[in-house]
């Protein structure tokens, strides 16, 4: 049976952030994820996770003022300093996966492959020593203009160059579909390097079942492969988070 994690940046936004933990647990989730814990006190977050018996599945290293720093030529020092802050939170929160976001290039913010590769290699080694897996995600430019890790071809280049089990891919069904690929074929091809999965339907980035993606087939593939990890529910609820959890109840009932 597959395991689902609530994405607290997308779901349960009807209530303030601290209340989303209880809401996710009450809805049956045993794990959560959200990109940035740094505005909250690590001790308070640890207490919320413990009180609601939730695991924290993954979060991102400090993202600067946007979608990360790893490929930004002028921000190498800031990226590397952020790894220590991420490690502090990961230890305190018992989290074993960290997303290294590439950042978005802009007119005054150059990004390049050498900086990115150096930083990712450095971070993968830094976290692997602590038993933490580093993750990258392919996010299309339509969702994040200028995002450096915006194509699966580029992810292939990165994985070949880094060549470490300490690096895994976040496969996000929405971005995979938006990029024009066949999400099922991509998921299958990336299986050996899969570190985490996120789901949202396309178009709309709403609940599974609201668009054209074949989630029964996608879940069957993950089950067949014996996927041991978590599936983050990174979608915008169409009509309220709890009202939109029917797809998950249906999946659970079918097991």
In the complex, what is the shortest distance from the CB of residue 66 to ligand LCNOYBR7, in angstroms, rounded to a whole number? 10
What is the rounded CA–CA span in Å between residue 72 and residue 194?
25
Binding residues for ligand LCNOYBR7, rule: CB under 6 A, are 35, 60, 101, 137, 139, 172, 175, 198, 234
Residues of span 231-250 touching Mg ion by CB under 5 A:
234
| Token output for 174 | 């929405």
Q: Binding pattern to Mg ion, positions 138-177, x when CB under 5 A?
A: ----------------------------------x-----
In the complex, what is the shortest distance from the CB of residue 75 to ligand LCNOYBR7, in angstroms, rounded to a whole number? 17
207 contact, one of Mg ion, ligand LCNOYBR7, none, CB 5-8 Å limit per kind: none
33 is catalytic: no
137 is catalytic: yes
Q: List strands edge to edge, sheet with 31-33.
A: 55-56, 31-33, 3-7, 230-233, 194-198, 167-172, 133-137, 97-99, 59-60
Alpha helices in 129-162 (DSSP H): 152-162
Q: Which letter does DSSP use for residue 5 in this model?
A: E
Nearer to Mg ion, 34 or 127 (CB): 34
Say if CB 76 and CB 112 are below 8 A apart: no
Beta strands in the chain (DSSP E): 3-7, 31-33, 55-56, 59-60, 97-99, 133-137, 167-172, 194-198, 230-233
35 contact, one of ligand LCNOYBR7, Mg ion, none, CB 5-8 Å limit per kind: ligand LCNOYBR7
In the complex, what is the shortest distance from the CB of residue 102 to Mg ion, in angstroms, rounded to a whole number? 13
- Active-site positions read 137, 234
């Amino acid at each position: 049976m597959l395991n689902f994690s609530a994405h607290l940046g997308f779901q349960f936004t009807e209530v303030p952030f601290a209340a989303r933990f209880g809401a996710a647990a009450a809805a049956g989730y045993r794990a959560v994820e959200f990109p940035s814990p740094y505005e909250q006190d690590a001790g308070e977050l640890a207490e919320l996770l413990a009180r609601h018996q939730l695991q924290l599945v993954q979060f991102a290293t400090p993202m600067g003022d946007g979608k990360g720093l790893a490929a930004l030529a002028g921000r190498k020092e800031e990226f590397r300093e952020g790894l220590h802050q991420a490690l502090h939170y990961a230890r305190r929160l018992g989290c074993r996966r960290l997303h290294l976001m590439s950042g978005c290039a802009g007119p005054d913010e150059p990004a390049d492959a050498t900086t990115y590769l150096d930083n990712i290699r450095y971070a993968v080694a830094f976290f692997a020593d602590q038993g933490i897996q580093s993750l990258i995600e392919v996010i299309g430019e339509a969702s994040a203009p200028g995002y450096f890790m915006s194509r699966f071809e580029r992810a292939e280049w990165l994985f070949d160059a880094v060549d470490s089990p300490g690096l895994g891919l976040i496969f996000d069904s929405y971005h995979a579909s938006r990029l024009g690929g066949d999400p099922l074929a991509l998921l299958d091809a990336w299986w050996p390097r899969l570190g985490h999965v996120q789901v949202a339907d396309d178009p709309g980035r709403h609940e599974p079942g609201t668009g054209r993606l074949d989630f029964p087939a996608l879940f069957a593939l993950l089950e067949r492969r014996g996927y041991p990890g978590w599936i983050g529910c990174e979608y915008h609820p169409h009509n309220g988070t709890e009202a939109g959890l029917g797809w998950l109840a249906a999946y659970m009932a079918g097991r």
